[in-house]
Amino acid sequence: MLVAKTIDLHNSQFPWLRLEQEFPVELEDSIYWLLSNLEIHRFSFEHDPNEHFTKTLFIWLPLNECSVREQETLVQSLISLAKTFGLTLTPCKWIQVKDEDWSLSWKKSWKPDPVGKSILILPAWLDVPEKFLERKVIRLDPGSAFGTGSHPSTRLCIEALDDNPPLGQVIADIGCGSGILSLTALKLGAKSTFSVDTDSLAISATKINSALNDFSENLLNVFLGSTEEVEANMPRKKIDLILCNILAPVIKLIGPDFEKIIGHKGKVILSGLLVEQIEELREFFLKLGWQVLEIKIKDQWALMVLTLALT
């Protein structure tokens, strides 16, 4: 918990207050949306590719606009968020810092991140390190939206695509976020993607990251919406592979629509599932006429591969 202390609100030498909070990586997406809902925009996530279980959240607040009560409320919001996932947070730090360009300083913590056998996630402003020259590079603007590749559920999806490249396939990326899975599929030989999300910020982020990787609109097609937008805009040939890295309750809401867009012998990769939700989702899709081909687990997260059962 935050310990209240007296702060000089007129300290011109240190005009910023910076919160530093270590957190489990599976909370990244939820923290992103919490801060967005609180209209806090000066924040970043520090990620060390060698540390797969935790990240550090940095938030910059103007010192003369942030009371002790507001600090306590913010910290309590983060603690409550973690509790909803059965997680706890280590004590945070509040540090007074000199005037700094927070929008640039957060970039210092980002590093090239190899995933799977052949993928490299690279912040857009960095050059490819020589030791990674043989990898397929996905350039991202980590500040544009959640979905940087560090979350275990995202890594499970990237690794699944890397193990079985979708050569020549038409992809539907449901809940595309930053577009990272669409970009990975295209880098691994997919013919085209139809990427949808119900959040306009995610759509903007996917378009930004698509441009960073020089993909044209006819390769990475982006729409605001869900499966209905895929159905309305996909080619006559149906989808070969559905990627769906979102939370289980949302998967259950849209799962009945998968059959409308999937082609013969098509597959669905579901992620964003907690390990304890595997059996629940297996039974749910079994009743809809699907069969489970494979299950993979990373930390407390799971990935499930489905196909329609033969009739």
Phi, psi of 230 (to 5 degrees): -65, -50
pLDDT for the residue 104: 62
Least confident of 87-101, 200-214, 283-297: 87-101
The token pair that represents 223 in the structure block? 């729409």
Q: Residue 183 in 3-state DSSP? A: helix
pLDDT tens for each residue of 71-83: 999 999 999 999 9
Q: Please tell me the distance from the alpha carbon of residue 303 to that of residue 257, in angstroms, as a whole number.
A: 19
Q: Please tell me the distance from the alpha carbon of residue 182 to that of residue 195, in angstroms, as a whole number.
A: 7
Q: Which residue has the higher pLDDT, 188 or 237?
A: 188
- State yes or no: pLDDT of 107 exceeds 50: yes
DSSP 8-state secondary structure symbol assigned to residue 188: T
Q: Which residue has the higher pLDDT, 300 or 99?
A: 300
Average pLDDT over residues 184-198: 96
Of all helices (H) and strands (E), which one includes residue 120? Answer: strand 119-123
Average pLDDT over residues 110-118: 90
Q: Please tell me the distance from the alpha carbon of residue 226 to that of residue 194, in angstroms, as a whole number.
A: 10
- State yes or no: pLDDT of 5 exceeds 70: no
Position 311 confidence tier, pLDDT thresholds 50, 70, 90 = low
pLDDT tens for each residue of 199-242: 887 898 899 999 999 998 889 999 999 999 999 999 888 999 99
pLDDT for the residue 1: 29
pLDDT for the residue 144: 55
pLDDT for the residue 247: 85
Phi, psi of 92 (to 5 degrees): -85, 175
Q: Residue 298 in 3-state DSSP? A: strand
Average pLDDT over residues 261-274: 93
pLDDT for the residue 27: 86
* Entry field: residues in the chain: 311
Q: Which residue has the higher pLDDT, 145 or 132?
A: 132
Q: Which domains does the chain have, with CATH numbers?
A: 16-101 (3.30.70.120), 144-308 (3.40.50.150)
Q: Which residue has the higher pLDDT, 276 or 101?
A: 276
Contact 175, 196 (CB under 8 A): yes
pLDDT for the residue 232: 95
Contact 238, 165 (CB under 8 A): no
DSSP 8-state secondary structure symbol assigned to residue 255: G
pLDDT for the residue 31: 87
pLDDT for the residue 235: 84
Contact 224, 174 (CB under 8 A): no
Residue with tokens 């007296």: 6
Contact 175, 270 (CB under 8 A): no
Q: Please tell me the distance from the alpha carbon of residue 199 to that of residue 197, in angstroms, as a whole number.
A: 5
Contact 282, 303 (CB under 8 A): no
